[in-house]
Structure 1
Amino acid sequence: MAATEEHTVLPAPTFDKPVKVLIVVSPYYSDIANGLLTGARGALEAAGVAHESVEMPGALEIPTAIGIADRASNFDGYVALGCVIRGETTHYETVCNDSSRALQLLGLQGLCIGNGILTVENKAQADVRADPDGQNKGGGAALAALHLIALARKWTDTRKGIGFLPAGDDTLLA
């Protein structure tokens, strides 16, 4: 059972320059969203990270909001929070798959995103996962975003090439 399994949680990375994160949350299930948000904010604040939050109607709108924010702002990373509970139709699969796929595609484009959109069978599972004093999936998503930001910053100044420096203004070519 997931609630009793042991797993490794990496410590929060440290930063030498300020970090700014946008939390995008869907309050569709407001009590679940509030738990996720409390956990995410707690993790970011414990790491000394500045953050803002915006709400979107549902999980499908979260990736679009992150894409818009990335084009129009200066956030270093993003935390996606929400909950999708299985219902009686196939809409569950659509929302789970499409929101997750869209976040993954944004990540592959270089955005640092912690995915805290819960996909569960019932509300009881969501309650356990969203509880900041329980599994704290909101805090976990925030930490995931911070680890990706740290990795991106580690390699930002790395020069690309094939073992040599590109020609500069002081380089003469024949």
Structure 2
Amino acid sequence: MADSEYTLPRPEFDRPVKLLIVVAPFYRDIADMLIEGAQAEVEAVGGTSEVIEVPGALEIPTAIGMAERLSNFDGYVGLGCVIRGETTHYETVCNDSSRGITLLGLQGLSIGNGILTVENREQALARADSTRMNKGGGAAAAALHLIALARKWGGQRSGVGFKPARDEYRLAGDLKDTPTA
């Protein structure tokens, strides 16, 4: 039942957050509703957002990956809508866009997935509408919660534990025989 769903309280931030909202606007009206919900959620925590558009849902993970390498955002929200059609293209787009976002998340990016995967337009409208299911707001909330976790744990990287490849080779001389530049 929809009315028994639990929603986490909004996270609080001691410094502002900046999110990139990546949208595939194939269904423009649905995309606009998703954006409205996402932006309202970001603004509710005092954050800011930038919106960019990409050709389709398959390009959302690529754009997020590029932004992570080339820009400066705390987190990301992927928004779009895929409505089942007559071919298997639906499964490809749904699975691969979701997989791409998941893989980026496993690399440490704070991402909320708001790509709707639905059977028909009515389902899409119910999920996109910010006064109903508000999946755009939900995706932004997911990204914000992950940003809060990253900030909570961000200061605990020195001295112990796994060091991702992007960290420097030498941390306080704890590695030997590593390449030097």
Same fold flag (TM > 0.5): yes
Distance in structure 2 (CA, Å) of the matches to 1:18 and 1:127: 31
Greater RCO structure (CA 8 Å; 6+ sep): 1
* Superposition TM-score, scaled by structure 2 size: 0.87
Which residue in 2 is equivalent to 1:27? 25
Q: Which blocks of at least 5 consecutive residues in structure 2 are unaligned?
A: 162-170, 174-181
Counterpart secondary structure, 2:57:
coil
Cα distance in 2 for residues equivalent to 1:5 and 1:46: 22
The equivalent of 1:60 in structure 2 is 58
Q: 2:12 aligns with which of 14, 18, 21?
A: 14
TM-score by length of 1: 0.90
SS in 1 for 2:72: coil
* Structure 2 counterpart of 1:156, from 143, 154, 157: 154
Look up the match of 1:109: 107
Letter in 2 for 1:142: A
Where does residue 143 of structure 2 map in the other structure? 145
> Are positions 1:99 and 2:97 aligned together?
yes
Q: Please give the alpha-carbon distance, in whole angstroms, between the structure 2 residues aligned to 1:78 and 1:102.
A: 13
Q: For 1:103, give the aligned amino acid.
A: I
User: How many residues end up aligned between the 2 structures?
Assistant: 163
Question: What is the rounded CA distance, in whole Å, between the counterparts of 1:151 and 1:137 in structure 2?
Answer: 21
The residue type equivalent to 1:161 in the other structure is: V
How many Å apart are 1:110 and its aligned residue?
Answer: 0.4
Distance 2:145 2:14 in 1: 14
Q: Percent identity?
A: 66
Alpha-carbon distance between aligned partners in 2 of 1:44 and 1:18, rounded to the nearest angstrom: 10
3-state DSSP class of the match of 1:110? Answer: coil
Q: Could you give the per-residue CA deviations for residues 112-151 of structure 1, whole angstroms, max 9, x where no partner exists?
A: 0000000000000000000000000000000000000000
| Partner SS state of residue 25, structure 2 | coil
Give ranges in structure 1 of 5+ residues lacking alignment.
Answer: 170-174
- CA RMSD, 1 decimal: 1.4
Give the secondary-structure state (helix, strand or coil) at the position aligned to 1:60.
Answer: helix
CA shift, 1:168, in A, is 5.0
Which whole-Å CA distance do the structure 2 matches of 1:44 and 1:156 have between them? 21
Displacement of 1:5: 4.2
- Cα gap change, 1:122/1:16 in structure 2, threshold over 3 Å: closer, same or farther? same
Q: Is 1:38 paired with 2:31?
A: no
1:71 corresponds to which of 69, 72, 75:
69
